[in-house]
Structure 1
Amino acid sequence: MVGKKADMVVLGEDITKVDPKDISETSIAYTIVDGKVVYKAK
Structure 2
Amino acid sequence: MNEFERDPQSRNNDVVDSIHGFVWPFLFFVFIFAIGVVISVFGQ
TM-score bracket, normalised by the shorter chain, equals under 0.3
Higher-Rg member (1/2): 2
The TM-score, its normalising length taken from structure 1, stands at 0.22
Q: Which structure ranks higher in relative contact order (CA pairs < 8 Å, sequence separation ≥ 6)?
A: 1
More helix by share: 2
More strand by share: 1
